[in-house]
Structure 1
């Protein structure tokens, strides 16, 4: 099968699996992104996420992860559902992406299917597939694969889909017809920058994790700095503010993956419920959920801060 037909076949199968888009880019050293990442790390913008300093060479060069790699196949899949809008004001909020089944599990299964399908077309291949699970600059590859542009809030934006989507990729020793990139459509808009209550978007396209509510409520293991606690507002786990205000999310694409839809048992629980939740309840509610990344003690700490903010 020639590269053109192979590219179309893999793309079509990705769409059949429920992904919203699939793009292809040449596996090569990310020179510009490497410089930006190094600068960001030197400035300590990654907070306590020291793991981001590890495997720098692999992070900026996919051929270090998969020797002989020729291509990066990127996929995106929406997780948005109308039920997400049922989180009422005045109650603690959880970021939309975390209200369904753990996306790592959902995407990885589908990427395995896509990998096996690709192998069925070309024979034995060397490659790996990832879902936010290895030193891969997935946003950079999504941009290079023509799936969107980097927004000023550092999320990837797609004109047809919005930004409420996950990214996954396959790194393969297979050649495809490579996609064309897309242009930046943020224009002069600064809604995400203006809306961030902690000023985490310190300049367009740059995020200071030390101030980001998602980082503070998920990745930061120690106590959230006192001066930032009131800025959490209702956000108990993650944050959607910079995405909610984005004009490109006015009519976001609906998810085609049932497992990513929000679990109704997590919606509209009041602050007293979350403040009083115990460990067994936490385990039962969040079984198979990405929220388990934040351990019970961290979750309770967040709930206590939001309790004070709302009360």
Structure 2
């Protein structure tokens, strides 16, 4: 083992992460903030008002950890080995197992503990502070993953890992450690392909990397409060929770391999959940079937709303 960065990457792999990279916090992210401002001004964030919060922290992650010098970015595979029958109501792959916030955050804590207890004495590192995040802080996650060399941001706005695809959760350790790394941003490898844009059932992907959440079926079936707008509801197909169309259309996902993370493996009851069960689903059933699942993001009422809209559409 020659340096700290290599040690961290090896330890991340041992913990089940599919990729790990490191980037220095060296300048404010003015360009990224301007892109976000433009997106917000168009109202493309729909009801996600939190996207307008904490702009200065997004601009400079030192607002999350005082004196932060580096960001360790990781990706972890969630592509399911066992998938629901296509004839059944569609549930986004990311929600097949346990809530990724809990799973990824715990693994990030384990990685940071290993850095403190093993790497620090081995490489005589200074005492450092850190915080771990996964889709839970005002961070430009995909930007930092790109800066760390994990992949590039596809036209569907998902991070694409070369030879692996886009079915990955992202996570970060923001730390005061100054870690030298040879990781560099990865060039865009989407080329002229626009399959994801053409696959979007509602046209929510208005242009490469420009998502209008007002029309996104993933947003509307997960985050949106209230009834699903009629125009989008008629395009639901058999989608119950989430969508995945823009990812399934991506040629890079032909390389997707099943996750080896046990927490992301679905239960047999989840895999067999059908329209009949959903039609009679009680709150108690919902709590049992989706215990510890990210599907609870939509709440019981939201899932029933989705089911009714889906049934009316089929």
- Fold match (TM-score > 0.5): yes
Quote the residue 1:174 is aligned against: 177
Quote the residue 2:102 is aligned against: 105
Of 112, 116, 126, the match for 2:113: 116
Question: Which deviations, in whole Å up to 9, do the C-alpha atoms of 1:230-267 show, x marking residues without a partner?
Answer: 11111111111111111000120331311112222111
Q: Tell me if the contact between 2:92 and 2:241 (Cα under 8 Å) persists in the aligned partners.
A: yes
Shift of the alpha carbon at 1:32? 1.8
**Alpha-carbon separation, structure 2, partners of 1:234 and 1:118:** 45
- Helix, strand or coil for the counterpart of 2:43? coil
Quote the residue 1:20 is aligned against: 18
Quote the residue 1:128 is aligned against: 131
Quote the residue 1:96 is aligned against: 93
Establish whether residue 226 from structure 1 lines up as the match of residue 202 from structure 2.
no
Q: Tell me if the contact between 2:80 and 2:96 (Cα under 8 Å) persists in the aligned partners.
A: no
Of 173, 178, 194, the match for 1:190: 194
Quote the residue 1:207 is aligned against: 211
Quote the residue 1:73 is aligned against: 72
Quote the residue 2:52 is aligned against: 53
**Alpha-carbon separation, structure 1, partners of 2:312 and 2:279:** 10
TM-score normalised per structure 2: 0.94
Question: Which deviations, in whole Å up to 9, do the C-alpha atoms of 1:191-250 show, x marking residues without a partner?
Answer: 100011100000111100111111000100111101110111111111111111110001
**Alpha-carbon separation, structure 2, partners of 1:263 and 1:95:** 15
Establish whether residue 159 from structure 1 lines up as the match of residue 157 from structure 2.
no
Question: Which deviations, in whole Å up to 9, do the C-alpha atoms of 1:142-201 show, x marking residues without a partner?
Answer: 011000001000000011211000000000011112311111111111110001110000
**Alpha-carbon separation, structure 2, partners of 1:266 and 1:29:** 44
Q: Tell me if the contact between 1:74 and 1:170 (Cα under 8 Å) persists in the aligned partners.
A: yes
Q: Tell me if the contact between 2:81 and 2:259 (Cα under 8 Å) persists in the aligned partners.
A: no
Closer/same/farther in 2, CA of residues 60 and 263 from structure 1, 3 Å limit = farther
Q: Tell me if the contact between 1:24 and 1:72 (Cα under 8 Å) persists in the aligned partners.
A: yes
**Alpha-carbon separation, structure 2, partners of 1:123 and 1:144:** 24
How many residues were matched structurally? Answer: 306
Shift of the alpha carbon at 1:123? 5.0
| Unaligned stretches of 5+ residues in structure 1 | none
**Alpha-carbon separation, structure 2, partners of 1:202 and 1:249:** 21
Question: Which deviations, in whole Å up to 9, do the C-alpha atoms of 1:40-64 show, x marking residues without a partner?
Answer: 0111100011011111111221111
Q: Please, what is the CA RMSD of the aligned residues?
A: 1.3
| Unaligned stretches of 5+ residues in structure 2 | none
How is 1:1-16 mapped onto 2 (pairs within 5 angstroms)? 5-16=3-14
Quote the residue 1:252 is aligned against: 256
